[in-house]
Amino acid sequence: MAKAEIRNQIRRLRFEHDEMTQQELAERAGCTRQTIVVLEKERYVPSLALAFKIARTFGKNVEEVFQYDSPDIP
Amino acid sequence: MIPFIAVAVLVLLALAVVVYLKQRGPALEAIDGLPMTRLQKCAWWSLTIGLVFAVAIVALFTVRGIEAYDRDPSMQLTVLGLFIGAIMTSLLIDPFSLPKRDGTDVSDERDLRVLDRAPRVQSVAMILTLAAWLTFLTLRYHGAGAVPMVFVYLIFFSSLIAYSLGLSLGVLMGYRKMARYGES
């Protein structure tokens, strides 16, 4: 089974929200700036709780921020 | 006396680094193009300082000889100081599950996941240390049928050092694995 990928729109959304800095987003979502960096590079899959916090920071639903790309599931 | 002073200086230097890290945090270069977390930086310092102490212990026994430990009280004190210094390096990492004095977090879920997984490396480090001692003592003392008492202490303290360094190594390997494979 091919590996599933979690994509996200965090970088785009930050810029759409008055060019919010990574530090600001981290403080609002309750994580460190380093975690925002690895999330934007799609090198880390967050917990559900953190995904919800980030989505709510942008006033979006989780699926508007994070997308699940799996070659096995249409 | 000189080795004892050297140990005291090493311990003081280690303590100074601990205080400095708790107040300001070190400046280390990023790896894999990702900024290092505070925990990751401290794991590097902890591993480096711990290795300096460990190498100093090995050097001391190589220069003075294992038999000198039993008859030289200053060497016993020196070795004890070095072991304590090496074990204390784990203090650089331990407080990371706690918030800072001003209430802000220094760690988040990613750091805590890495910390949770680090003990796997600690157990491997301890098993390898014990296996190394078993091989060394068997090869050297099998014919004599007995092992000098000094090795009892050395096995215990070296296991503690492996436990301490294993935590730092586990933390560093955890971040590297996460960055390389993008795992959750």
CB pairs A-B closer than 8 Å: 49
Q: Which of B37, B178, B184 sits opposite A32 (nearest CB)?
A: B37
> What's the whole-number average pLDDT of chain B?
78
Q: pLDDT digit string (tens) for B126-150?
A: 999 999 999 999 998 988 889 988 8
3-state SS, residue B47: helix
Question: Mind telling me how many Å the CA of B20 is from chain A's nearest CA?
Answer: 21
pLDDT in tens, B98-128: 555 555 556 788 888 888 888 999 999 999 9
Q: Which of B36, B105, B182 sits opposite A44 (nearest CB)?
A: B182
* Rounded Cα gap, residues B96 and A34, in angstroms: 15
Give residue B183's region: left, alpha or beta (phi > 0; psi -120 to 50): beta
Closest-CA distance of chain A to residue B181, Å: 7
Nearest to A34 among B37, B183, B184 (CB): B37
A33 contacts chain B (CB < 8 A): yes
Round to whole Å and give the CA distance between B15 and B81.
13
Question: Coil, strand, or helix at residue B64?
Answer: helix
A35 Cβ under 8 Å from any chain B Cβ? yes
Which pLDDT score, from 0 to 100, does residue B28 have? 43
Contact A34 B182 (CB under 8 A): no
B173 has a pLDDT exceeding 60: yes
Give the pLDDT band (50/70/90) at residue B184.
low
For residue B29, is pLDDT > 90? no
Which has the minimum average pLDDT: B12-16, B51-55, B117-121, B171-175?
B12-16
| Mean pLDDT in residue range B75-89 | 84
pLDDT band at A51 (very low <50, low <70, confident <90, very high): very high
Task: Determine phi and psi for A66, rounding to 5 degrees.
Answer: -115, 135
CA B45 – CA B60 distance, rounded (Å): 23
Q: What is the pLDDT of residues A12-31, one digit of tens each?
A: 999 999 999 999 999 999 89
Strand pairing class (A66-69; A5-8) = antiparallel
pLDDT at residue B1 above 60?
no
- 3-class state of residue B68 by DSSP: helix
**What per-residue confidence (pLDDT) applies to B14?**
62
Rounded Cα gap, residues B118 and A19, in angstroms: 36
Please give the structure tokens belonging to residue A37.
């960096």
B183 CB neighbours in chain A (<8 A) are 44-45
ipTM for this prediction: 0.77
Mean confidence (pLDDT) of chain A: 87
B31 vs A: CB within 8 A: no
Q: Give me the pLDDT at residue B104, please.
A: 56
